[in-house]
Amino acid sequence: MKPSEAKRIDGKAFAAGLRLRVEEAVRDLAVVKGVKPGLATILLGDDPASQVYVRSKGRVAAEAGMSSFDHRLPANTTQAELLEIIERLNADDSVHGILVQLPLPRHIDTSRILIAIDPTKDVDGFHPLNVGRLSSIAPGAPLDFSVPCTPLGVSMLLEDALGSLAGRNAVVVGRSNLVGRPVAQLLLRADCTVSIGHSRTRDLADLCRRADILVVAIGRPEFVRGDWIKPGAAVIDVGINRVPGAEGKTRLVGDVAFAEALPAAGWITPVPGGVGPMTVACLMFNTLQAARRTAGLPFLPL
């Protein structure tokens, strides 16, 4: 690394450490309470990317010593059939976490499905009850409920790299319910001053230049340029975009122009190897927490 380059935040290494921590806690839970965490995944259709993602979740769960229950359903599964499966999983004491792979086919009402999941088993953090708890959480209050996995991973990486986030100006580019808004709420909990930028923001580049912490999650390859970044800022790139590469192949890039940002930022996540590995690791962490609650144990601290 050149002296003028940003420190690279190694999400892959942090995620590996988190998974080891989860694995140890799973063993302890079995010894102390005789409980083995169980994660149920539901996938409708045969989208290749979703299949790979769900397979990865099952493999990591098994490596952590958890039970994994996979439900692969045809794309034409009716909403009533899906709700029936969720109802069975809600009542199954061996299942502590339920994950429905999104997006769902158009004939399924996603909000109806998310509401149907027992909020104590909602390891994705998408149930309205958990969303509401995050939106109203007090600064510094414990996270004793499920938080969306990618935003939780972003929060963990920032606090590991920077220590206390209190008083820092944070800008989140992207306002989705899955990433942008929960990231902003977690940063508010950490006593940051938070702004959210989006497609209608006037002079978005100027807003980004004020950020001590810049989190970008908009799904537009290399949208944020190097001259948008305040010198020394921490840049978290949530984007994963596949673009044309050399010799007819493709390559992965983030929402930030990494090569341009590297000399300007103080810290930066690469793509791949930054936020991506944290999502599955945090899913395992959330499943463990749900199992601990079932066993009458407090949530582990982050």
Residue 248 covered by a domain: yes
Do 184 and 272 belong to one domain? yes
Q: How far apart are CA 50 and CA 199, in angstroms?
A: 27
Same domain assignment for residues 178 and 271: yes
Q: Do 77 and 183 belong together in one domain? A: no
Q: Are residues 108 and 170 in the same domain?
A: no
Query: Do both 236 and 155 map to the same domain?
Result: yes
Domain that holds residue 242: 148-278
- Residue 180 belongs to domain with CATH number: 3.40.50.720
- Residue 161, in any domain of the structure: yes
Tell me the whole-structure pTM to 2 decimals.
0.95
Residue 164 belongs to some domain of the structure: yes
Angle at 59 between CA 57 and CA 64, to 5 degrees: 95
User: Is residue 217 a part of any domain in this protein?
Assistant: yes
For the stretch 82-111, pLDDT in tens is 999 999 999 999 999 999 999 999 999 999
Distances (CA, A) of 213 to 171, 192, 216: 6, 9, 10
Is 101 in the active site?
yes
pLDDT one-digit tens code per residue, 190-240 = 999 999 999 999 999 999 999 999 999 999 999 999 999 999 999 999 999
Interatomic CA distance for residues 288 and 60, integer angstroms: 13
CA dihedral 296, 278, 181, 297 (to 10 degrees): 10
pLDDT at residue 290 greater than cutoff 90: yes
Give the pLDDT confidence of 51-84 residue by residue, as tens digits.
Answer: 888 888 999 999 999 999 999 999 999 999 999 9
Cα Rg of the chain (Å, integer): 19
Q: What's the mean pLDDT in 242-253? A: 89
Q: Residue 130 CB: number of other CB atoms within 10 A?
A: 22
Give how far Cα 219 sits from Cα of 173, 188, 253, Å: 10, 23, 10
- Structural domain contains residue 73: yes
7 lies in some domain: no
- 237 catalytically annotated: no
57 is catalytic: yes
Q: What percent of the chain has pLDDT over 90?
A: 91
Q: Is the pLDDT assigned to residue 248 strictly greater than 90?
A: no
The overall average pLDDT reported for the chain is: 95
129-159 pLDDT, tens digit per residue, is 999 999 999 999 999 999 999 999 999 999 9
From the list 10, 57, 122, 289, the catalytic residue is 57
- pLDDT higher than 60, residue 38: yes
Tell me if 286 is assigned to some domain. Answer: no
pLDDT (mean) for 30-35:
97
According to DSSP, the β-strands at 38-44 and 67-73 are: parallel
84 and 152, same domain (yes or no): no
| Nearest to 177, CA basis, from 134, 221, 117 | 134
Do 113 and 152 fall within a single domain?
A: no
Whether residue 53 is contained in a domain is answered as yes
- pLDDT band at 1; cut points 50, 70, 90: very low
**Mean pLDDT computed over 21-46:** 96
Are 221 and 271 in the same domain? Answer: yes
Q: Please pick, among 10, 122, 124, 212, the residue that the annotation labels catalytic.
A: 124
Kindly state whether residues 154 and 224 are assigned to the same domain. yes
The answer, yes or no, to whether residue 46 has pLDDT greater than 90, is no
DSSP 8-state class, residue 7: E
Residues 178, 113: one domain?
no
Stronger pLDDT, 273 or 48, i.e. the higher one: 273
What percentage of the chain reaches a pLDDT higher than 70? 99
Mean pLDDT of the 237-256 span:
92
Give the CATH number for residue 65. Answer: 3.40.50.10860
Position 3 confidence tier, pLDDT thresholds 50, 70, 90? low
Q: CA 65, CA 33: separation in Å to the nearest integer?
A: 15
Domain count, the chain: 2
Examine the domain organization and report whether 108 and 157 are in the same domain: no
Predicted local confidence at residue 2, as pLDDT: 53
Residues 112 and 152 in one domain: no
Could you tell me the sign of the dihedral formed by the alpha carbons of 19, 20, 25, 31, in that order?
positive
Catalytic residue among 10, 101, 185, 212: 101
